[in-house]
């Protein structure tokens, strides 16, 4: 629902180095030894260290292994990743990732791809810590309902977020480590609702993501309500309506946003009650009595949100902002 506003310190090159420097001990992996056997290279490695011509180390990084597989034409890496660098895969923007996905297609049976881009091995030690330290995560970017913030404990920094693979890592395992394919989200959105569903050009990590402007919560009242006077939240409907397109229709459906927000109509009900209790004349009176500026009083009473505020920092912020516009509070 909300675009990810990456911080200046969110250095994608640092992320790339974090990932590409991950190394493997060749002697400890049968698959790695198999790689060198396939090109006719002796792989006898002594316990105290040895030489593995033409690769002269007993360890290899992800970057080195990717290049090695391509240059030695192993497991079709030369054709699958023709013209595609590891950097393109790891830190390419969402448009770049989509082009890679369209070029390579669905996951093929390739144990070398699965091994090289294994997400599980890096998730807790490298990937999640990078997000914890370089992005101020507060609420789920898919729903803006639940807090998914990080917090400090005596044993170190912890988090309440999951990282969803926008393009499913089971279908496109070569994108499992891609920075802009990872969306901080709540458990409900990631595990219970999205699953392997695929969208087109709608990732919150994309500069094109425009849900906040194109889709708005609308206030609908039952027929027995007059002049915004309501007696119960049951008189309220707050559907999401998209203007001039249906780009986000599937997004709304997959994450069950309309159904989930109906459970929180009390937020809107309270706003409407306050609007009835505090008309503009009353707010002006309070300004005269307290000396507090009218706009500040209004902001405090209605919990108004400024235009330049990052909506991801607080749950239900988009709902509050859109309904504030509906009620002409802002």
pLDDT at residue 85 tops 50: yes
Check whether residue 166 and residue 313 sit in a common domain: no
In contact, 258 and 249? CB cutoff 8 Å: no
- Give me the percent of the chain exceeding a pLDDT of 90: 52
* Same domain, yes or no: 274 and 182: no
Say if residue 297's pLDDT is above 50. yes
Token digits of residue 9: 């310190």
Confidence (pLDDT) at 6: 86
For 144-199, write each residue's pLDDT tens digit.
999 998 877 777 777 789 999 999 999 999 999 999 999 999 999 999 999 888 88
pLDDT of residue 4: 92
Domain assignment present for 4: no
What value does the mean pLDDT take over residues 81-101?
A: 95
- Does 171 lie in the same domain as 48? yes
pLDDT at 50 over 50: no
pLDDT for the residue numbered 39: 56
Residue 221 and residue 189 share a domain = no
47 pLDDT above the threshold of 50: no
Domain stops at, among 168, 194, 220: 194
Q: Residue 41 has what pLDDT?
A: 46
- Pair 216, 190 in one domain: no
Q: Which of 194, 222, 241 is the last residue in one of the domains?
A: 194
What sign does the dihedral 68-21-182-202 (CA atoms) show?
Answer: negative
More confident call, 50 vs 215: 215
Which residues have C-beta within 8 Å of that of residue 82, sequence separation ≥ 6? Answer: none
Say if CB 240 and CB 39 are below 8 A apart.
no
Confidence of residue 56 (pLDDT cuts 50, 70, 90): low
Residues 184 and 148 in one domain: yes
Largest distance between two CA atoms of the chain: 88
Tens digits of residue pLDDT in 16-37: 999 999 988 887 788 888 887 7
Question: Are residue 245 and residue 186 in the same domain, yes or no?
Answer: no
Does residue 200 form part of some domain?
no
With pLDDT > 70 as the criterion, what percentage of the chain qualifies?
A: 92
Enclosing domain of residue 61? 12-194
Query: Does residue 309 sit in helix, strand or coil?
Result: coil
Decide if pLDDT at 295 tops 70: yes
């Amino acid at each position: 629902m909300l675009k990810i506003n990456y911080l200046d310190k969110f250095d994608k090159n640092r992320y790339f180095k974090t990932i590409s420097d991950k190394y493997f001990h060749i002697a400890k992996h049968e698959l790695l030894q198999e790689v060198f056997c396939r090109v006719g290279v002796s792989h006898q490695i002594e316990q105290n260290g040895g030489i593995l011509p033409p690769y002269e180390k007993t360890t290899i990084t992800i970057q080195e292994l990717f290049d090695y597989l391509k240059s030695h034409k192993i497991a079709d890496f030369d054709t699958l990743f023709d013209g595609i660098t590891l950097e393109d895969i790891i830190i390419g923007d969402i448009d770049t990732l989509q082009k890679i996905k369209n070029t390579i297609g669905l996951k093929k049976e390739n144990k070398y791809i699965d091994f090289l881009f294994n997400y599980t091995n890096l998730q807790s030690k490298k990937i999640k810590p990078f997000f914890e330290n370089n992005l101020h995560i507060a609420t789920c970017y898919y729903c803006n309902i639940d807090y998914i913030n990080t917090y400090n404990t005596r044993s170190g920094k912890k988090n309440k977020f999951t990282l969803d693979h926008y393009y499913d890592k089971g279908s496109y395992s070569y994108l499992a480590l891609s920075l802009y394919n990872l969306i901080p989200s709540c458990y409900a959105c990631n595990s219970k609702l999205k699953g392997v569903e695929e969208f087109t050009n709608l990732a919150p990590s994309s500069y094109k993501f425009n849900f906040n402007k194109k889709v708005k919560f609308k206030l609908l009242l039952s027929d027995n309500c007059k002049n915004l006077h309501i007696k119960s939240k049951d008189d309220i409907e707050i559907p999401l309506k998209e203007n001039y397109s249906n780009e986000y229709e599937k997004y709304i459906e997959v994450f069950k946003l309309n159904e989930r927000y109906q459970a929180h109509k009390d937020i809107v009900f309270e706003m409407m009650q306050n609007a009835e209790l505090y008309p503009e004349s009353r707010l002006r009176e309070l300004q005269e009595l307290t000396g507090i500026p009218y706009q500040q009083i209004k902001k405090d009473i209605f919990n108004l949100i400024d235009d330049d505020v990052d909506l991801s920092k607080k749950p239900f912020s988009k709902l509050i902002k859109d309904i504030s516009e509906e009620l002409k509070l802002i």
